[in-house]
Amino acid sequence: PKTDVVFLKVHKSASSTVMNILFRFGEMHNLTFAFPIGGGNQLFYPRHFLAKFVQGFSPRSPRKFNIVCHHMRFLLPEVQKVVSHSAVYFSILRNPVHLMESSFVYYKGASAFSRARSLEEFLNQPYLYYNPANRDSHYARNLMTFDFGFNPNGEVSAKRVQLMLEAIEASFDLLLISEYFDESMVLLKEMLCWDLDSVVSFPLNSRDSSTKSPLPDSIVEKIKNWNRLDWEIYTHFNRTFWERVDRDIGRERMQQEVKALRERRAELARTCLQGMGSVAPKDIKDSSLKPLQHGNAKIVGYNLKTGLDKEMERMCRRLVTPELQYSSALYKKQFPQKHP
């Protein structure tokens, strides 16, 4: 199994669920994490990543960490200073249409979104609300482009898009697609030589369906145009994702692997969860399992079954612990003398 991993955690793309997988694997195998100084949950985002943002990093004795997975704005030469040269790099992408809709609800307090009554209103006259100079403007346009370290307001020329795609391909070993999450987990498992239980998960940091609504076609086109750079990244890597499935696994085996993953997830849900699924934030009984609520989104969580034996309870709890609580617990374990 590979133990040196860099995960670029792209916003609103099922990345909290992937982070939980990395937290669990790291905890089980006593691996070290590149935590933000002081134990925060972002590596000084939205600034470009610098090695000095990592707790315990010193240029004089360059200590290497096993896993980098907290939010950052990617900058390869700096990331390379904190992990071994053999580390595996991966990230996850999401259809920019769904991403923008999700961002609008989740980051409603951002300067670009706060005055717009609806996403449609924002898209009809984006420059009425959007100022690229604002510190939080990246949430409102080409968010994936920004997270990968590029300028979200750059011109969309064929040459520039090409250079951007080539740079991403040169830096990353695998790009997952959140719309095909289970297929992504199978590819990840293969690449990292991990077992099935290491990549099984319950969705974390996801919204209650009551705040989701389908978008009319007219808005879909506006979102694509407004986030053209993200759209180029997504369509390119969605295509190479399936090329890789065909090359490395084949559709038939992929179907079997996905089926096994889903069966295992359902089995764990029956074992671990009250009522088999997620519940609204107000219905989460254990306050330590309550996810952060943000913007206008209602972030769902889980209730664990009572009466589980100790080992099972620990495993189940790991699966449903929200990222802020999990990150904080792992930070305390890695740096017992410091308190976040």
Look up residue 115 and give its amino acid. Answer: R
What is the number of other CB atoms lying within 10 angstroms of the CB of residue 49? 26
Ordered structural domains, the chain, with CATH: 5-261 (3.40.50.300)
Half-sphere exposure of 140 (CA within 13 A, CB side): 26
Alpha helix stretches (DSSP H) within the chain: 15-28, 76-79, 96-106, 119-124, 126-129, 143-147, 158-171, 181-192, 196-199, 217-226, 228-248, 251-272, 310-320, 323-334
Q: In Å, how far from its chain's centre is CA 305?
A: 27
Give residue 61's pLDDT: 82
Burial 106-122 (b: 16+ CB within 10 A, else e): bbeebbbbeebeebeeb
For tokens 């943002």, the residue is 53
What is the number of other CB atoms lying within 10 angstroms of the CB of residue 307? 7
Structural contact between residues 67 and 32, judged by C-beta atoms closer than 8 angstroms: yes
Q: CA 6, 94, 34 angle in degrees (round to 5)?
A: 20
Residue ranges in the chain modelled with pLDDT below 50: none
Structural contact between residues 203 and 185, judged by C-beta atoms closer than 8 angstroms: no
| Prediction pTM value | 0.96
Give me the phi and psi of 120, to 5 degrees please.
-60, -45
* CA-wise closest residue to 2 among 79, 92, 70, 87: 87
Rounded Cα gap, residues 125 and 86, in angstroms: 47
* CA-wise closest residue to 68 among 94, 48, 47, 42: 42
